[in-house]
Structure 1
Amino acid sequence: MDSSHSPTANISPNAEVSITSEKATIGLSSVSSISSKNHEYPDGKIKPAGDVEKAEDMTGDSDSEEIDITLKPETMTFPDGGFGWFVVLGAFTIQFCCWGFNFCWGVYQQFYVNNQIFPGAGLSEISWSGGISSASIFITTPFQTKMVATFGLRKVIATGIIISGSGMILASFATSLWQLYLTQGFMYGFGAGMALFTSVAIPVQWFEKKRGLASGITVAGSGIGGATLAPLNRYLISKVGYQWALRIMGISVITLVCSILACLRTRVTPSVKGRPLLDVAMFKNSGFTAMYFMGMLVTFGYLTPVFLLPKFVTDLGMDPTVGASLVSIFSGVNAVARIVLGFAGDRYGPLNVLIISTIFTGLCCWVLWMNTHGLTMAIVFVVIYGANAGGFNSLFPVVAADIIGVETLAATVGLLYSGNFFGNLLGTPLASTIVTASGGSYKWAQVYAGAAPILAAALLIVLRFKREKRILVRM
């Protein structure tokens, strides 16, 4: 393909640069790999030193985007510590607040339904707010490189967290479903997405040898946030009411994130010009298409157990606090699993580990959740489900980088993750509708929640054996 149309990276003269690609996600990020020395690409081939190579253009479009990455002089080496740990702290805090509160939706959903806060609205109607919230987080992903280049990192994060926190506060005044959808749904998710995906790529710019550890700590913030905030919100609702619980959370999130903005300092200044934000020609790449639909399928089922568990256990006759505790356990286990499965992927191959963890995510719903009739089995389910579900968060971007190329992923990550929008928007509401249509039985919703990751794993298996037919091979 004609490389003259591909993304380019302009490096300051006299610079010896070595930036290796890595993951950083709750969901996404990668840093392009550029070197003035011999460079090893993800496919294992060694490229000779010399001028910086242009990433392969997947479209051949003469109007394609030029991505200009300017490195400041201090970025010639990686600190691997020092101020970088403050950057990790800042990104961890944003993950803690934004994803952590999102994991608490099931607590509010159970309270809204059981107490008829919105008269006439049942589980299937109220669950749309959680779906809208989770989906809205991904709306800004295609635009974030341009937003940071235009307005600056801290301004984008501050704006996002103010919108998100304001959504929580305004939700406390909601008297109808459309107001709930707009505030706790859209406003919260839209703002959280601006802060989450803008910040998550920053820690990898400060680390090389300890990059996996830094990334793992960052994304673990979401699970630790859910483990902490779910019981806290349940407690606040019981003590001061759901309205003041929302107000307290909104004010706290804005205050906490704005207080750590000074910790977030980028070492790479992006400038994006020309190319369409969503390059749909990427779907001609079979690897990209497989990863896009894999991510979409997983998210159709991923949050379904988390959001339905509080209502599920109260329907079994348990106290409402049990549901919050189960969400907390899931989130804590999920946080640890993201780090552990990330290390496992380094050793045994990220694609191999992602396939196995995704299969077990689905099987947990079929084998464990469908046979849960008491507290003990509920705990067993959330522990094993949380342990396997963490693989998607930590390994999806690593596998995507390996399959479609680091440089291509850096330019198309927004499009890749846009598929998650549909799964997050429709997944839980669809499951809730199934519960309602089944007369309150969760059986078919559990079947559905397990089928989504199983189908996603099937896509990965096909993709893997197209690349390598031998089973015992690290990849």
Structure 2
Amino acid sequence: MARQAAGAESRIFYGWFVVAAAFAITFIGFGCAYTFSSFLEPLEHEFGASRGSVSLVFSLAGFLYFGLGIVSGPLADRFGSRPLAVIGMVLVGLGLALASAARSLVEVYAAYSLGVGLGVGCAYVPAIGAVQRWFVRRRGFASGIAVSGIGVGTLAMPPLASFLIASLGWRSAYLALGALALVLGGGMALLIENDPQRRGLHPDGDGLPQAGRPQAAGATVAEAIRSPRFISLYAACLICSFGVFVPFVHLVPFARDHGITASWAALLLSVIGIGSTAGRFLLGGLADSMGRERSLVLMFVGMALALAIWAVSGNVWSLAAFAFVYGVFYGGWVAILPAVVMDYFGGRNVSGIIGVLYTSVAFGTLIGPSAAGYAFDLSHSYELAIVASAATNVVAAVVVILASRSARRAAEPFFEG
């Protein structure tokens, strides 16, 4: 009772500390991952490798950090999110440190892909799943803040990586990033708490639980993944993910191919980060009022339109415009998606369901960026990769629209928010 009273009287609802921890985890984990574009050219030169083979390093890591959610999500539902988040940040740090000592591209695959991939995969879904349980009314906003760490990481980390590479070399740069992941990421992960009830609290800091929608209620993982709504959402995320992460790997080399200096090219990734941060803060909260499912469709359409800007860009200012617009809608997609899952299926197994859903993103990430690299090796152009990336987002939007109409007619017995 004393713990409950202390929690109830606390000036700051502990859910916001969970959001802050998730923000730090996404900032460190994805920030380190998205510095890869800055390392692409040094790795090409160091190991005499093609752009496609070097791009595969990022694709393998992306496959692991999204695909591992199918394991880490259910583990978090059962054992709590904190231990998985801490282990994940330690793995990111160790992976980057080992990559700094790699003597071949295969060793980079092993160190970076396994370390960063497994590390982010352990931490990301459990941290984001924990946030969903702490909020109902402001779930989209809270989720947006939590995943805005990805945007801020994309803003801050690539210029930092470029500075470290220029000053110390790519090996020392990886070592420094690894130390940051261990200290800051691992420390903040200790603040993660799986459920407000463990602190005698209720979602949103209310004195009473939400009437008619207990936080522990919801579908089992098996029920969810068999539902038409989940299948359509999985298909949409799989299709769009073939193109979503192509800019994170290939925007910097694209800019360099168009005569833009390395420092300005790296800043383009930061512009994606600026847009992404804005999208996560603004669009996550806006989705709470205009409907999260409808907002998800708008994110797919927005990413497609932004990629169309990239297709006709050739100077730093047009590329910056693309990067910002793309970042806004990409950030909104990442913020809204977990909240849509919670709306559909409830909170009892939300981490496990999100984990299964993110395997779709894993397969798209594995194929998309590396395929774009190999397409460039064959044609010396990114035109086909960019157009295909835009098309995948259009198809994803159509899938969600059709599935939503079908679900309304069938009146599926899952939560809708």
Whether the TM-score (by the shorter chain) exceeds 0.5 is: yes
Q: Does 1:90 align with 2:14?
A: no
Unaligned runs of 5+ residues in structure 1 are 1-14, 16-71, 271-276
Higher relative contact order (Cα pairs below 8 Å, separated by 6+ residues)? 2
AA paired with 2:93? G
AA paired with 1:412? I
Structure 1 distance, partners of 2:228, 2:135, is 32
CA positional deviation for 1:389: 1.6
1:350-402 per-position Cα deviation (integer Å, ceiling 9, x unaligned): 22222122112112212x11111111111111111111222211222333344
* Alignment partner, residue 301 of structure 2: 359
Q: Which moves more between the two structures, 388-397 or 224-233? A: 388-397
CA positional deviation for 1:291: 0.5
* Alignment partner, residue 466 of structure 1: 406
Q: Does 1:293 align with 2:222?
A: no
Identify the match of residue 331 of structure 2 among 379, 382, 390. Answer: 390
Mapped contact 2:140–2:335 kept (Cα < 8 A): no
Provide the alpha-carbon RMSD of the alignment.
Answer: 2.9
AA paired with 1:291? L
CA distance 1:87–1:399, change in 2 (3 Å): closer
* Alignment partner, residue 446 of structure 1: 386
* Alignment partner, residue 316 of structure 1: 258
1:222-241 per-position Cα deviation (integer Å, ceiling 9, x unaligned): 11011011100000000100
Q: After superposition, where does 1:52-91 map in structure 2 within 5 Å?
A: 81-91=12-22
* Alignment partner, residue 455 of structure 1: 395
AA paired with 1:289? I
CA distance 1:76–1:296, change in 2 (3 Å): farther
AA paired with 1:388? F
Structure 2 distance, partners of 1:287, 1:75, is 41
Structure 2 distance, partners of 1:144, 1:78, is 33
Structure 1 distance, partners of 2:67, 2:59, is 13
CA distance 1:351–1:151, change in 2 (3 Å): closer
CA positional deviation for 1:209: 5.7
Q: Does 1:303 align with 2:279?
A: no
Q: After superposition, where does 1:301-450 map in structure 2 within 5 Å?
A: 301-366=243-308, 368-404=309-345, 409=350, 412-438=353-379, 440-450=380-390
CA positional deviation for 1:168: 0.5
Mapped contact 1:131–1:428 kept (Cα < 8 A): yes
CA positional deviation for 1:131: 0.4
CA distance 1:196–1:269, change in 2 (3 Å): farther
Structure 2 distance, partners of 1:261, 1:406, is 21
Mapped contact 1:301–1:449 kept (Cα < 8 A): yes
CA positional deviation for 1:409: 5.0
CA positional deviation for 1:457: 1.0
Mapped contact 1:139–1:190 kept (Cα < 8 A): no
CA positional deviation for 1:140: 2.6
1:147-204 per-position Cα deviation (integer Å, ceiling 9, x unaligned): 3477654432222212111110111111222211111112211112212222223345
**Structure with more strand by fraction:** 1
Q: After superposition, where does 1:233-252 map in structure 2 within 5 Å?
A: 233-252=161-180
* Alignment partner, residue 19 of structure 1: none
AA paired with 1:136? L
Mapped contact 2:229–2:407 kept (Cα < 8 A): no
CA distance 1:155–1:343, change in 2 (3 Å): closer
Other structure's SS at 1:201 match: helix
AA paired with 2:70? P
Q: Which moves more between the two structures, 299-308 or 396-405? A: 396-405
1:435-461 per-position Cα deviation (integer Å, ceiling 9, x unaligned): 1111x1111111111112111111112
Structure 1 distance, partners of 2:306, 2:147, is 23
Other structure's SS at 2:46 match: coil
Identify the match of residue 37 of structure 2 among 106, 118, 124. Answer: 106
Mapped contact 2:341–2:354 kept (Cα < 8 A): no
Identify the match of residue 182 of structure 2 among 242, 251, 254. Answer: 254
Structure 2 distance, partners of 1:269, 1:401, is 18
CA positional deviation for 1:206: 4.6
AA paired with 2:332? G
Structure 1 distance, partners of 2:77, 2:328, is 37
CA distance 1:343–1:152, change in 2 (3 Å): closer
CA positional deviation for 1:403: 4.2
Mapped contact 2:25–2:189 kept (Cα < 8 A): no
Q: Does 1:218 align with 2:158?
A: no
**Structure with more helix by fraction:** 2
1:252-279 per-position Cα deviation (integer Å, ceiling 9, x unaligned): 1101123334433344689xxxxxx984
CA positional deviation for 1:428: 0.4
* Alignment partner, residue 156 of structure 1: 84
Structure 2 distance, partners of 1:78, 1:299, is 44
Other structure's SS at 2:67 match: coil
1:45-99 per-position Cα deviation (integer Å, ceiling 9, x unaligned): xxxxxxxxxxxxxxxxxxxxxxxxxxx9679969682444333322211111001
Structure 2 distance, partners of 1:203, 1:418, is 20
* Alignment partner, residue 6 of structure 1: none
Report the structure number with the largest CA radius of gyration.
1
Count of matched residue pairs: 389
AA paired with 1:446? I
Q: After superposition, where does 1:183-202 map in structure 2 within 5 Å?
A: 183-202=111-130
CA distance 1:247–1:408, change in 2 (3 Å): closer
Mapped contact 1:228–1:328 kept (Cα < 8 A): yes
CA distance 1:327–1:288, change in 2 (3 Å): same
Percentage of pairs with the same residue: 25
Q: Does 1:118 align with 2:47?
A: yes
